[in-house]
Amino acid sequence: MTQLPTSQSAPVVDGLHGAARNMAMLAVALSVFLALLDYAIANVALPDIARDLNASSSSSIWVVNAYQMASLVSLLPLAALGSRVGFARLCQVGIIIFMVSSLFCATATSLPILAGARVLQGIGGACIMSVNIALVRFIYPHAEIGRGIALNGVVVALGVALGPTAAAAILTIGSWPWLFWINLPFGALALGMAFYALPKVPRTSGSLDITGSILCMLAFGASVMGGDGLAHSQNTAISCALLLAGLAAGVLLVRREAEAPQPILPVDLLKNPEFAVAFITGFCGFVASNFYIVSMPFTLHNTLGLSSAATGLLITPWPLGIMCAAPLIRRVADKVSAGVLSSIGLSTTALGFFLLWLLPAHPSVWDIAWRTGVAGWGFGFFQPPNNRAMMVAAPHTRAGGASGMVQVARQAGQTLGAMGVAAFFTWFAQGATQKCLLMAGCVALFAATLSASRLFLNTKKAA
């Protein structure tokens, strides 16, 4: 099998070809699919988990937040580690951690135990997700990076698509722990492919910045815990203290990393306006998506009285819409600017969310499905060109940092969106889910406007 050079001084090969590329992308796809499948499954199963573990609806969201927070706080340190030990090796370690933690999730007997297992699962997922787009950059030639990222987006959508469908099928015949048992055989397959097919790429020299890693985890972790506490209106003083501690750690982290040659927090990349706008656009897009994804199961299950199986099936048009956008976006992602494509996609997503907000009191299945599909199609049209813009704005030597930031935009946005849903459930006694859909549409529209600002940046550069 053709592999990229492993020595730091060797030239970078411009992608793999033929069977080597196909097998490498299959290995990436399986690992990414594994990391995302349980996230989507857990969202659908929240009402059942809350009931069986005697937890409130707002508390059960910790099943989502625990995974997201652990993944978020470890993404950038793990991306930096991957640059040093090898992207393929870190992905393999992540699969192993994910399988072990899935066993703990399946045997959990209380919400705190399940949340703790999800923390470990989030770390395993972060090992995989922090390097997956960096691997894609080395698997595909530079001129075809957009195609590779679009294909990766299809895999992400497929993982999300099969999550609700698999949850609906499993919950029809079994209990929610089986949602985690399925990771064991699938993880074994992903691990075998990762050892066989993932390419070796140039590594950076030097030891990992331990102090910077600790500051990074403190900045993200304390900020998320403080924000979540405020969202639940719990321990306000402690939550405010955690939020301030997180902000202070963030300031120290930025000052420390500003002069580092290989910073954990890629301050060097964020100084590039094209990278920064793409990052913020991605972040806002995922805030909007999680206002929908986390709240919609409660709308369907609690407000409309649908079963868990029906809830899972009615969320499926969202990822199916993402997949339907893939054939077109793969053709144009490398040819048309992200400022155009992502703005169109996010505007379409906003339209879909507003249409869901305006649903009649007693909607039909079709009323829900087509609106959800519109929103999903727009999201699928937005992601690949925006992610491509981040990756091509970074040099090859900073592929790990750029890949980590792509995932930070996703994870931080999803985490903030989930916290927003928890806050709405806490603050509003009536109509919280409807307000979540309205917020989803507003944030998506703001992200579309921000994405369009890149056209102005490109005009200034051309001038």
Write out pLDDT tens, residues 369-410: 999 999 999 998 998 899 888 888 887 777 777 878 888 888
The burial class, CB within 10 Å (0-12 / 13-18 / 19+), for 202 is buried
Task: Output the pLDDT for position 3.
Answer: 39
**Distance separating alpha carbons of residues 47 and 457, to the nearest angstrom:** 45
**Distance separating alpha carbons of residues 334 and 256, to the nearest angstrom:** 35
> What φ, ψ does residue 101 adopt, rounded to 5°?
-70, -30
CA distances from 374 to 130, 274, 291, 383 (A): 29, 28, 16, 15
- Three-state DSSP state, 15: coil
3-class SS string, 294-358: HHHHHHHHHHCCCCHHHHHHHHCHHHHHHHHHHHHHHHHCCCCCHHHHHHHHHHHHHHHHHHHHC
DSSP 257-286: HTT-SS-SS-HHHHTSHHHHHHHHHHHHHH
Q: Which percentage of the chain shows pLDDT scores above 90?
A: 20
Average pLDDT over residues 249-260: 86
Tell me, which fold does domain 18-199+260-454 have in CATH? Growth Hormone; Chain: A; (1.20.1250)
pLDDT tens per residue, range 314-340: 888 888 888 888 888 888 887 888 889
Q: Which percentage of the chain shows pLDDT scores above 70?
A: 90
Mean pLDDT (the chain, rounded): 82
Task: Output the pLDDT for position 58.
Answer: 64
Task: Output the pLDDT for position 370.
Answer: 93
Average pLDDT over residues 171-175: 76
**Distance separating alpha carbons of residues 120 and 126, to the nearest angstrom:** 10
pLDDT band with cut points at 50, 70 and 90 for residue 11: very low
CA atoms within 13 A on the CB side of 257: 29
Average pLDDT over residues 93-114: 88
The burial class, CB within 10 Å (0-12 / 13-18 / 19+), for 82 is buried
Nearest Cα neighbor of 75 from 29, 21, 124 is 124
The two three-digit tokens of residue 393, written as one number: 């704005």
Average pLDDT over residues 97-115: 87
State whether the Cα torsion 398-403-407-409 is positive or negative.
Answer: positive
pLDDT band with cut points at 50, 70 and 90 for residue 2: very low
Task: Output the pLDDT for position 442.
Answer: 96
pLDDT band with cut points at 50, 70 and 90 for residue 97: very high
Q: At what angle do helices 183-197 and 87-106 cross, to 10 degrees?
A: 170
Greater pLDDT, 158 or 378:
378
Is the pLDDT score of 411 beyond 70?
yes
pLDDT band with cut points at 50, 70 and 90 for residue 157: low
